Structure 1
Amino acid sequence: MSDRIPATTDKKPAPQADIINIHTLSVMVNNQPGVLGRICAVFSRRGFNIESLVVSQTRDPRFSRMTIGVSGHPEGLTQIILQVNKLIDVIHCVEHTDRDAVSKELVLIKVAASATERTEILQIIEHYNGKTVDLQEDSLIALISGNTDKLDAALRLLNKFEIVETVRTGKVVMARGLTET
């Protein structure tokens, strides 16, 4: 048995046929202790897995916005949204799609980079409109932002080099037009 900790670049198992794609929910909540725990419990009880979670205070410090990426059985998603909306301290919970919202995520990638590999690594980063945010003699850290497919593609190309570690934010979303997220 290996003691190796799986990296974010490791291949994930193929999704099961009865599991939906990742859905993106935006949850506006009162900025209070314990709110996140109560929301997570709803997902857990319904057999949904939280794939990504981003929480930040809004412009009004009384409120926070949670962007939650979830996967699970399709028939349970509507029920979960209804249950989350009933929780104390939840202002509203809505699902967002690419049609009604803009979604982006960010990844930091640390790559071991010898002098001979550096040019090719930098070309890949530039191709994906990334930025080098740290450069050392033996490594570099790149920042790439965009949609999930773009980040996955960049990581696939960089996998031929030694990726030391990655840190990925998960999606953040904002409703299109004047609709509040």
Structure 2
Amino acid sequence: MMMNHAIAVLVNDQPGVLQRVSGLFGRRGFNIESITVGQSEEPGLSRMVIVTKGDDHTLEQIEKQLYKLIDVIKVVNLSTMPMVSRELALIKVKSEPAERPEIMGLVETFRAAVVDIGTKNMMVQVVGDTDKIDAMLELLKPYGVQELSRTGVTAMTRGNL
């Protein structure tokens, strides 16, 4: 069954590693839904969180191929464990002064924040899992979404794993 999987990849912090990892996905015909990269808790190592779609066999192939890359230290399928995942989105939405109280109501309901207000629009910041971001975006669409920027998913296993 095709489903989204979050994969954490610990890699050496070297130029070209991101290109080699993304190139591997492209050559094998695997799509990257989102990818985030940043420093890890260990100096000299970065953590990538890649969200991709596929069945168990596809995921197994991805893991095997990633381990063939010289700068890959560890690959963990986070989707098979209890995890916390978050994404951040900045959404610029049209907002005439008369519509602002309605939009502010949505912002409060989603525990989001207004981070900028212009004369004809406002920028909303929302943090949460992908479903929360999608739901917020869907409710803001009728007002007119002018611009959208999403970070992609970052994730970690829960507890002592």
* TM-score, with length taken from structure 1: 0.83
Q: Could you tell me which amino acid in structure 1 is paired with residue 85 of structure 2?
A: S
Number of residue pairs aligned between Structure 1 and Structure 2: 161
- Distance apart, 1:59 and its partner CA: 3.4
**Aligned mates of 2:93, 2:23 — CA distance in 1:** 37
**Residue 106 of structure 1 corresponds to which residue in structure 2?**
88
Give ranges in structure 1 of 5+ residues lacking alignment.
1-17
2:66 and 2:60 mapped to 1: Cα distance? 10
| 1:109–1:143 Cα contact (<8 Å) kept | yes
More helix by share: 2
1:118 paired residue among 90, 100, 115: 100
CA RMSD in angstroms comes to 1.5
> 1:71-123 CA deviation, whole Å, 9 max, x = no partner?
24552210111110221011111111274211111111001110111110111
Q: In 1, distance between residues paired with 2:56 and 2:98?
A: 48
Q: Percent identity?
A: 43
Distance 1:45 1:165 in 2: 31
Question: d(CA) in 2 for partners of 1:115 and 1:133?
Answer: 16
TM-score by length of 2: 0.93
Q: Which runs of structure 2 are paired with 1:8-23 in the superposition (5 Å)?
A: 20-23=2-5
Which residue identity is paired with 2:84? Answer: V
Counterpart-to-counterpart distance in 2, 1:120 and 1:69? 33
Q: Secondary structure in 2 aligned to 1:177?
A: coil
